């Protein structure tokens, strides 16, 4: 048997050489056999060669398929400039990284006073909602400007979680409301203070230009990628000065995203769901400055503060699950997690690990619109990588890749809805794709959280009749993919959910 195996291996590796060596032996022995027998031997030898060649082709083909199978790719670390966390927090809630806004009296007339003061600010800032700052315009006017916390803070059960993505924003009507703050201010300021008009004109110009192109199909998803695209299209890459006409062609699609939790960033080697934000994270964090920035000189001054902002973000910890946890069940879930999930999402505890993997679409199988837009619209990648943001001592760079980063899961219990486009309302449905609703909605005015299934309590529908219903049949809004929990039993999924509550 061992000799036969060696001969078979030789046939597969080098059948021609073996045939040539055996052929000479064959013809030397022809006189000892009858002609019909000799012919049979030769034909048999040719048949063996043919079969061997076929086996060789199959083996090489199998090797080729295996060698080209897509695999998760590790993302290398990028050195960061880290400042002072306390200064970063102060800049977030008092800073003027947005330089144009509504005069305070006009803002109060439209918005009223905020009764919560979640940020514990002092003075007149205490009356401003957490998503706005009170700053001084260069002409001396006190103005109210939008901030990062518009998207990166969310109210839940009577408290504000800074760093939690806001899943209640409504971009479906963005730019359509002619009676909203921008439209109202534009009309009012024609007959009011010239200083008020001056302090407001820049942000009105930006929003009136980009607003009509930012509408999402459903409430609750974010249009941040679209915002960046539109602002870049109206900026000179070097000077960052505003251009009335777009310098780049603008695609028609508005790609929806969920807002990732800030406290995950300290583990990541790249920013954004598709992992294409490399280099200095501070440069990406300040992109909203493009709403009102005059030029690169002003941007340079603003960027000095974002090392501090990054330090503050790195200081954030995931909120603890507030309900009781079944410890024995959670320990069972930990074993299931480490066996099935940890290779992509990392391990947790005293010796935690996180692999920073970009998972290709052939594996994750989720909606491809977000990452594929990098390749379909490369002009924006080129703009950024040749711009002011990609220069200096701490440059940033966009490196497009295929797929999505498997995120850390710290505080995953509170970050519903799930997947990169917010298409799945609960973790229970993430782990069992059969439970994912095609059309679903939540109570946006009085939302209720399901602390057992981990996610929003929701209703199902037969169709997407309104913008308040998440329609997973729309391009970019699919809830397909991430089928890794489907093979688990119901008891295993229950244990896994219990463990996820501990992260």
**Whole-number average pLDDT of the chain:** 86
Q: What is the CA radius of gyration of the chain?
A: 30
Least confident of 91-95, 200-204, 404-408, 498-502: 200-204
Structure confidence at residue 32 as a pLDDT band (50, 70, 90): very low
Helices (H), 2-123: 2-13, 15-28, 35-68, 85-94, 104-111
- Give a yes or no: residue 44 inside a domain: yes
Percent of the chain with pLDDT over 70: 84
Cis before 435 (ω within 30): no
Q: What angle do CA 232, 307, 275 make, to 5 degrees?
A: 55
Contacts of 297 (CB under 8 A, 6+ apart): none
- 113, pLDDT greater than 70: yes
- Give a yes or no: residue 17 inside a domain: yes
* Residue 182: per-residue pLDDT: 52
- Give a yes or no: residue 7 inside a domain: yes
| Average pLDDT, integer, range 65-72 | 69
* Residue 186: per-residue pLDDT: 62
| Average pLDDT, integer, range 348-364 | 95
* Residue 494: per-residue pLDDT: 98
* Residue 86: per-residue pLDDT: 98
Three-state DSSP at 288 gives helix
Domain count, the chain: 1
* Residue 188: per-residue pLDDT: 67
The conformation of residue 353, written as its DSSP 8-state character, comes to B
- 148, pLDDT greater than 60: yes
* Residue 231: per-residue pLDDT: 95
Q: What is the 3-state secondary structure (H, E, C) of 251-318?
A: CCCCCCECCCCHHHHHHCCCECCCCCEEECHHHHHCHHHHHCCCCHHHHHHHHCCHHHHHHHHHHCCC
Do 425 and 319 contact (CB within 8 A), yes or no?
A: no
Q: Nearest-CA neighbor of 483 among 328, 360, 366?
A: 366
* Residue 22: per-residue pLDDT: 36
- Give a yes or no: residue 15 inside a domain: yes
| Conformation bin of residue 402: beta by default, left when phi > 0, alpha when psi is -120 to 50 | beta
Q: What is the DSSP secondary-structure string of 364-383?
A: H----HHHHHHHH-HHHHHH
| Average pLDDT, integer, range 234-248 | 96
- Give a yes or no: residue 478 inside a domain: no
Residue 313 parent element (H or E): helix 306-315
Q: Which of 22-31, 172-181, 232-241 has the highest mean pLDDT?
A: 232-241
Structure confidence at residue 177 as a pLDDT band (50, 70, 90): low
Structure confidence at residue 377 as a pLDDT band (50, 70, 90): confident
- 173, pLDDT greater than 90: no
Q: Nearest-CA neighbor of 161 among 169, 152, 174?
A: 152
- Give a yes or no: residue 30 inside a domain: yes
Q: Which two tokens stand for residue 395?
A: 């440059």
Least confident of 60-74, 278-292, 325-339, 472-486: 60-74
Structure confidence at residue 60 as a pLDDT band (50, 70, 90): very low
* Residue 414: per-residue pLDDT: 98
pLDDT in tens, 365-374: 999 999 998 7
- Give a yes or no: residue 20 inside a domain: yes
Q: Nearest-CA neighbor of 163 among 95, 87, 92?
A: 92
The conformation of residue 266, written as its DSSP 8-state character, comes to G
Q: How far is CA 495 from CA 35, 335, 336, in A?
A: 75, 9, 8
* Residue 62: per-residue pLDDT: 45
- 396, pLDDT greater than 90: yes
Distance of CA 113 to the CA centre of its chain: 34
Structure confidence at residue 375 as a pLDDT band (50, 70, 90): confident
Q: What angle do CA 320, 257, 247 make, to 5 degrees?
A: 135
Structure confidence at residue 176 as a pLDDT band (50, 70, 90): low
pLDDT in tens, 472-482: 999 999 999 99
CB atoms within 10 A of CB 191: 7
Q: Nearest-CA neighbor of 279 among 399, 381, 152?
A: 399
- 127, pLDDT greater than 70: yes
Q: Nearest-CA neighbor of 490 among 412, 414, 422, 435?
A: 435
* Residue 178: per-residue pLDDT: 44
- 155, pLDDT greater than 80: yes
- Give a yes or no: residue 11 inside a domain: yes
- 201, pLDDT greater than 50: yes
Could you give the CA distance from residue 305 to residue 87 in angstroms, rounded to a whole number? 8
Q: Nearest-CA neighbor of 119 among 82, 168, 83, 152?
A: 152
Helices (H), 316-467: 327-340, 342-345, 361-364, 369-376, 378-385, 427-431
| Average pLDDT, integer, range 236-262 | 95
* Residue 497: per-residue pLDDT: 98
Q: What domain range is 26 assigned to?
A: 2-69
| Average pLDDT, integer, range 239-248 | 95
CB atoms within 10 A of CB 21: 12
* Residue 26: per-residue pLDDT: 27
Structure confidence at residue 190 as a pLDDT band (50, 70, 90): low
Do 233 and 195 contact (CB within 8 A), yes or no?
A: no
Burial of 256 (C-beta count, 10 Å sphere; 0-12/13-18/19+): buried
What is the maximum alpha-carbon separation in the chain? Answer: 117
């Amino acid at each position: 048997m061992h000799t036969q195996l060696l001969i078979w291996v030789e046939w597969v590796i080098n059948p021609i050489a073996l045939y040539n060596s055996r052929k000479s032996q064959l013809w030397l022995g022809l006189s000892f056999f009858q002609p019909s027998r000799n012919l049979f031997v030769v034909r048999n030898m040719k048949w063996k060669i043919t079969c061997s060649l076929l086996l060789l082709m199959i083996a090489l083909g199998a090797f080729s398929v295996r060698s080209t199978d897509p695999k998760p790719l590790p993302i290398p670390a990028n050195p960061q400039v880290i400042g002072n966390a306390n200064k970063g927090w102060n800049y977030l809630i008092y800073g003027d990284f947005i330089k144009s806004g509504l005069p305070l009296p006009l803002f109060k007339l439209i918005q009223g006073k905020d009764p919560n003061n979640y940020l514990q600010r002092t003075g007149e800032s205490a009356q401003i909602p957490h998503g706005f700052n009170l700053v001084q315009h260069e002409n001396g006017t006190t103005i109210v400007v939008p901030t990062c916390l518009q998207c990166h803070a969310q109210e839940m059960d009577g408290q504000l979680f800074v760093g939690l993505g806001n899943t209640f924003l409504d971009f479906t009507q963005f730019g359509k409301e002619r009676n909203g703050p921008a439209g109202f201010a534009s009309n009012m300021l024609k007959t009011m203070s010239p200083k008020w008009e001056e302090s407001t004109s820049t942000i009105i110009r930006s929003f009136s230009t980009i607003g009509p192109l930012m509408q999402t199909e459903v409430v609750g998803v974010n249009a941040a990628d679209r915002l960046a695209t539109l602002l870049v299209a109206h900026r000179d890459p070097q000077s960052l000065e505003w251009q009335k006409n777009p310098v780049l062609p603008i695609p028609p699609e508005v790609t929806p995203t969920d807002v990732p939790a800030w406290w995950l960033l300290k583990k990541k080697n790249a920013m954004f769901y598709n992992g294409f934000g490399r280099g200095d994270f501070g440069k990406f964090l300040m992109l909203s400055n493009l709403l009102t920035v005059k030029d690169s000189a002003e941007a340079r001054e603003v960027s000095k503060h974002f090392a501090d902002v990054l330090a503050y973000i790195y200081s954030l910890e995931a909120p603890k699950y507030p309900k009781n946890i079944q410890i024995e069940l959670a320990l069972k879930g930990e074993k299931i997690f480490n066996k099935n999930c940890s290779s992509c999402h990392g391990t947790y505890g005293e010796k935690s690990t996180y692999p920073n993997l970009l998972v290709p679409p052939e594996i994750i199988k989720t909606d491809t619109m977000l990452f594929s837009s990098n390749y379909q619209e490369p002009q924006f990648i080129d703009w950024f990588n040749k711009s002011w943001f990609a220069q200096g001592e701490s440059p940033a760079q966009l490196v497009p890749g295929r797929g999505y980063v498997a995120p850390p899961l710290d505080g995953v219990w509170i970050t519903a809805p799930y997947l990169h486009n917010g298409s799945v309302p609960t973790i229970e449905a993430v782990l069992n794709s059969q439970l994912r609703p095609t059309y679903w909605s939540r109570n946006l005015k009085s939302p209720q959280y399901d602390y057992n299934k981990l996610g929003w309590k929701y209703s199902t529908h037969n169709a997407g009749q309104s913008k308040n219903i998440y329609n997973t049949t729309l391009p970019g809004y699919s809830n397909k993919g991430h089928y890794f929990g489907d093979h688990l039993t119901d008891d295993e999924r229950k244990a896994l959910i219990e463990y996820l509550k501990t992260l």
